[in-house]
Amino acid sequence: MASLTLSSTPLADGFYMPAEWEPQQQMWMIWPERPDNWRLNAQPAHTAFCAVIQAIARFQPVTVGVSADAYLEAYARLADTPGYGVRLVEIANNDAWMRDTGPTFVRNAAGEVRGIDWIFNAWGGEQGGLYSPWDLDNQVARKVLQIEGVSRYVADFVLEGGAIHVDGEGTLLTTEACLLNPNRNPHLTRAEIEENLRQYLGIQKVLWLPNGIYEDETDEHIDNMACFIRPGEVLLAWTDNPQDPQYAYSQAAYTYLSTATDAQGRQLKIHKLPLPQPQYIREEEAAGVVALPGTQPRQAGQRLAASYINFVFCNGALILPSFDDPMDAVAVEHLRQLCPDREVIQVPGREILLGGGNIHCITQQQPIKK
């Protein structure tokens, strides 16, 4: 089936972005490679990604994009993945952040699925972007939609999937720190950004948290800070330590959400999800990363944006990171109580975190056709 390029917008055609907890056809990921971001030639990252892939594959198919150079290695690691298995497809890329480089899928009332191809500029372009070039990453969404034969909306708008969360009923969560940053869409006002989100995602209301997670190098994506777990209910990253810079960020978010209503007029119910203790890059970890021109360096002592909010829903389960921290078990128990209909699975997240994100950042769900 051909992938048509559309000149309209999803809203005009009756399409909207469904919530992440709705049934999924498959999960998309990209195999990590670059030695200037993933230490020791990405070998520890391969193990971490495989753990995520194996966890998701228990519940639904996984498709992994991989470069020609890394294909044989990825095949050796993934070909015999049990459960629903893994499909490998050859996709050239600059790095492994499928949430941000892949398409955002939208659906209409009849169940038809289409995709949005946003502009990707490596989280800031020439003003704070994390690597250069990013031209191959900016082609990933188009290639995914072509592989699937899904019609494509082309957005003249810089956006990453990790910058947004939706409830599937008209409400979108984001942060001012990210979407109002002049390194994304400096020619647009806040109202114009909201209109773009309305046109492409079919939402009616945007909730703007001031900040995300402290020192999050994506300019504080929402997917580290807060998410919907069902309509009218928000999960918020939390610390009770007033000496932590994150404390003020979380307090401000809580204050804002406490007085906000969603697109349906509901007062929000807020669930606080404790953060792990602050984590920092160790000397041996920084030493394993190859310093190359055009890439933000990894330095010992740099604070990492560790958060349990960076989990992903899949069919019948929820996959979240662990950090070898006492709060790991607390986070699992919180999520089991809040999502009793799902199996909550924790997999090691530090190696992914060292690359700049976590499980939600490396995955992109494709909703099922109804």
* CA pair distance 314, 49, nearest whole angstrom: 16
Q: Which two tokens stand for residue 206?
A: 């945007």
Low-confidence ranges of the chain (pLDDT < 50): none
Determine the pLDDT at residue 293: 87
- Three-class DSSP labels, the chain: CCCCEECCCCCCCCEECCCCCCCEEEEEEECCCCCCCCCHHHHHHHHHHHHHHHHHHCCCCEEEEECCCCHHHHHHHHCCCCCCCEEEEECCCCCCCHHHHCCEEEEECCCCEEEEEEECCCCCCCCCCCECCCCCHHHHHHHHHHHHCCCEEEEEEECCHHHCEECCCCEEEEEHHHHCCCCCCCCCCHHHHHHHHHHHHCCCEEEEECCCCCCCCCCCCHHHCEEEEECCEEEEEECCCCCCHHHHHHHHHHHHHHHCECCCCCECEEEEEECCCCEECCHHHHHCCCCCCCECCCCCCCEECCCCCCCEEECCEEEEEECCCCHHHHHHHHHHHHCCCCEEEEEECHHHHHCCCCCCCCCEEEECCC
Determine the pLDDT at residue 370: 76
Quick one: which of 365, 369, 361, 368 has its CA closest to 95?
361
Determine the pLDDT at residue 367: 98
Amino acid at 248: A
281 Rama sector, left if φ>0, alpha if ψ -120 to 50, beta otherwise: beta
**Rg (Cα) of the chain, in Å, rounded?**
19
Residue 9: Cβ within 10 Å count:
18
Q: Which two tokens stand for residue 266?
A: 């509901």
Determine the pLDDT at residue 3: 78
Determine the pLDDT at residue 16: 98
Domains of the chain: 9-367 (3.75.10.10)
Determine the pLDDT at residue 2: 67
Strand bridging mode 5-6 / 205-209: unpaired
Which residues, in sequence order, are CB contacts of 337 under 8 Å at separation 6+?
none
Catalytic residue numbers?
361
Residues 24-77: tens digit of each pLDDT: 999 999 999 999 999 999 999 999 999 999 999 999 999 999 999 999 999 999
Q: Which residue has the tokens 């992938």?
A: 3
* CA pair distance 139, 133, nearest whole angstrom: 12
Residues 256-308: tens digit of each pLDDT: 999 999 999 999 999 999 999 999 999 999 999 998 888 888 999 999 999 99
- The answer to whether the CB of 280 falls within 8 A of the CB of 301 is yes
pTM, entire model = 0.97
Determine the pLDDT at residue 294: 85
